[in-house]
C-alpha cells in the first residue's frame, strides 16, 4: 500500500480518477499501450483502487497477469461482480490451456506478422479491422467489435470489461450465475413466500393476542419471517436478483392476503389500529425479504 487512506491527498485521488478515465478512453480507442501505462500509473498511485486494477487487467494480454490483477481487485472488494465474472472467465481460459486472451491474440498477431510462440491454441487469421455499423445503432460507423459475439458495436455501446469490449447483450449474459433465475426458480420463490406469509400470519394473530409483549413480538415476527423466507429460497434455488425479488414479493403478498382480510374485519369492527399494525407487518415482511434478495 503506497498512498491509501490519510496519506492519499485529494489531488492524488483526482489524478488517479483522471488516469483511469484516460485509460478507459485509450482502451476504447484501441490504444492498449497508452491504456496500460495509465492504469498502471493509477495502481501505483493508489494500490487500493478497484477500478484501476480492473482497468489494468482489461488491457494486458497475458491471462496469468489478468488473473493477478483481478485478484488484487477482489482482495479490495470481494463482492465486485465485474471482477468475479471476469476472473471466472480468465480462469476458464487458463484451464483450457490458453495463455493469451483471445481478444488480444488477434492484435498481437497482426502487430508481429506471425504467430507468437506464446500462442497455444491456433486461431484462423482474421481480416484487419473493417468498418462496420453498430448493431444497436445502425447509423453509427465503428471499428469496434464485441469480443464475445464479434458483432460490431459503437463506442457508446461497447462496455469495457477485463476480457475486452462487450456488447450490451453479451454483458448481460455474463452476469454471475446466481443472478440468472429461470421460471422454476421463481416458482419455488413464490410458493415459499406464499406459505411463509401464511404461517407468519397465523403467528401474528396468535402472538398479537398475548398481553403486553404480544404486539411487540408480532411486529418482530415480520422482518424475521422475511429473513427466514429469503434464507430458505436461497437454499433451495441459489438465485437472487430482480426476478427472484418479484416472485418472492408476490408470493408473500398473496400468502398475507387472509391477514389483510382479518385487518379489514378489524377495521369494520372499529379497530383502525389493528389494520395499521397488520399493514405495517406485511410491509416489513415483504421489504425485508425483497431487500435481502438484491
What residues make contact with Zn ion under the rule CB under 5 A?
134, 136-137, 146, 148-149, 154, 157, 167, 170
Q: Roughly what angle, to the nearest 10 degrees, separates helices 214-237 and 272-292?
A: 30
Smallest distance, Zn ion to C-beta of residue 171, A: 8
Of residues 93 and 290, the one with the C-beta less far from Zn ion: 93
Smallest distance, Zn ion to C-beta of residue 172, A: 9
Separation in Å, CA 99 to CA 67, 95, 96, 116: 11, 9, 9, 11
Other Cβ atoms less than 10 A from the Cβ of 12: the count is: 15
Of residues 167 and 293, the one with the C-beta less far from Zn ion: 167
> 134: exposed, middle or buried (C-beta count within 10 Å: 0-12, 13-18, 19+)?
buried
Q: What span, in angstroms and rounded, lies between the C-alpha atoms of 13 and 234?
A: 39
Smallest distance, Zn ion to C-beta of residue 119, A: 23
Of residues 170 and 181, the one with the C-beta less far from Zn ion: 170
Of residues 59 and 157, the one with the C-beta less far from Zn ion: 157
Q: What span, in angstroms and rounded, lies between the C-alpha atoms of 101 and 105?
A: 6
Smallest distance, Zn ion to C-beta of residue 71, A: 26
β-strands 132-133, 141-142 pairing = antiparallel
C-alpha grid cell for residue 229?
423466507
Smallest distance, Zn ion to C-beta of residue 142, A: 7
Of residues 8 and 157, the one with the C-beta less far from Zn ion: 157
Please say whether the beta carbons of 265 and 221 come within 8 A: no
Amino acid at each position: 500500500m503506497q498512498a491509501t487512506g490519510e496519506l492519499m491527498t485529494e489531488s492524488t485521488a483526482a489524478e488517479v480518477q483522471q488516469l483511469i478515465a484516460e485509460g478507459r478512453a485509450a482502451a476504447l480507442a484501441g490504444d492498449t499501450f497508452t491504456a496500460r501505462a495509465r492504469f498502471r500509473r493509477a495502481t501505483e498511485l493508489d494500490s487500493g483502487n478497484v477500478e484501476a486494477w480492473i482497468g489494468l487487467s482489461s488491457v494486458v494480454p497475458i491471462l496469468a497477469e489478468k488473473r493477478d490483477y483481478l485478484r488484487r481487485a477482489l482482495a479490495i472488494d470481494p463482492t465486485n461482480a465485474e471482477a468475479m465474472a471476469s476472473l471466472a472467465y480468465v480462469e476458464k481460459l487458463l484451464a483450457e490451456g490458453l495463455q493469451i486472451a483471445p481478444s488480444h491474440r488477434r492484435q498481437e498477431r497482426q502487430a508481429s506478422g506471425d504467430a507468437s510462440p506464446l500462442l497455444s491454441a491456433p486461431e484462423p487469421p482474421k481480416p484487419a479491422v473493417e468498418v462496420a455499423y453498430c448493431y444497436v445503432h445502425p447509423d453509427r460507423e465503428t471499428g469496434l467489435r464485441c469480443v464475445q459475439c464479434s458483432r460490431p458495436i459503437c463506442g457508446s455501446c461497447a462496455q469495457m470489461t477485463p476480457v475486452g469490449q462487450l456488447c450490451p447483450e453479451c454483458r448481460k449474459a455474463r452476469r454471475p450465475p446466481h443472478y440468472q433465475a429461470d421460471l422454476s426458480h421463481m416458482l419455488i420463490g413464490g410458493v415459499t413466500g406464499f406459505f411463509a406469509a401464511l404461517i407468519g400470519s397465523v403467528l401474528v394473530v396468535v402472538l398479537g393476542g398475548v398481553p403486553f409483549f404480544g404486539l411487540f413480538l408480532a411486529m418482530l415476527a415480520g422482518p424475521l419471517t422475511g429473513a427466514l423466507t429469503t434464507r430458505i429460497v436461497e437454499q433451495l434455488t441459489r438465485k437472487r436478483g430482480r426476478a427472484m425479488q418479484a416472485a418472492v414479493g408476490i408470493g408473500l403478498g398473496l400468502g398475507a392476503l387472509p391477514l389483510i382480510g382479518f385487518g379489514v374485519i378489524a377495521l369494520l369492527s372499529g379497530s383502525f389500529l389493528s389494520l395499521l399494525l397488520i399493514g405495517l407487518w406485511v410491509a416489513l415482511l415483504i421489504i425485508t425479504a425483497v431487500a435481502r434478495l438484491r
